[in-house]
Amino acid sequence: MTERHDFASFDGTRLAYHTEGEGRPVILLHGLFSSSQMNWIKWGHGVRLAAAGFRAIMLDFRVHGDSEAPRGPSAYPRGVLVRDAAALAEHLALEPGGFDLVGFSLGARTAIHAVAHGILEPRRLALCGMGVAGLAGWERRADFFKRVIDEFDTIRPGDPAFTARTFLKSQGIDRIAARLLLDAMDDFDLALLANVTMPVAAICGDADDDNGSASELAALLPDARYIEVPGTHMNSVTRPELGEAIVGFLAA
């Protein structure tokens, strides 16, 4: 059974996380405008991990899910999501090498920033829905999402931003807080990939090119492999194959 918990992050912002199962801890970080419920719980990925002997620990980023969405700029310093993930690991007293780390899209970006800068040290790292362009070209990607927020009321079907606009609306995201969050993220220096020395899986949908090539990302990492699953960026997370790929990698 999934359980919800709350804790105070580094700046006192209340964040929620959800757990499933017992065993080796796995922190899971969801995608932009999503949540633990939408990314990991609804489609059974948390249950799959629990059945395989893991404890799935699914964080709701600030502005997302059941976590707070402060509207003050001071709540969004550079690297805020990395600091939130680190605060969760500290709250749970997770030791370096004593947990695994999984991220999808924004969660993958956050995870690799945290690992490459030595802030989190997982045993294994799974990067889902992420390629080279999504790391090094974040500014272009962020501009797309800022447009979704800024032009929210005028985006119509047929516009490339309409799907993102529809998803944003369906999740009830506070757009003012989301805009502030987007400005708190930086591009990633690909030279830092050399610091990511643990085993890594770059898991991506066969029709997902939203963040560039995941296979190219795997080739740039010291100890990584590319795992292809069915789907696009929006629907690969709904497929059981994604959870099965995560479990298979972490259990190896």
For residue 194, give the CATH number of its domain. 3.40.50.1820
- Provide the number of structural domains found in the chain: 1
Could you tell me if residue 160 is inside a domain? no
Residue-range definition of the domain harbouring residue 68: 3-136+187-251
Tell the burial category of 202 from Cβ atoms under 10 Å away from its Cβ (0-12, 13-18, 19+).
Answer: buried
pLDDT of residue 73 exceeding 90, the answer is yes
> Mean of the pLDDT values across residues 171-185?
96
Mean residue pLDDT across the chain: 97
Could you tell me if residue 191 is inside a domain? yes
Could you tell me if residue 95 is inside a domain? yes
Could you tell me if residue 15 is inside a domain? yes
Could you tell me if residue 151 is inside a domain? no
> Mean of the pLDDT values across residues 203-213?
96
Could you tell me if residue 130 is inside a domain? yes
Could you tell me if residue 152 is inside a domain? no
pTM: 0.97
Could you tell me if residue 77 is inside a domain? yes
Give the pLDDT score at 139. Answer: 85
For residue 62, name the pLDDT band (cuts at 50, 70, 90): very high
* pLDDT one-digit tens code per residue, 111-155: 999 999 999 999 999 999 999 999 998 888 889 999 999 999 999
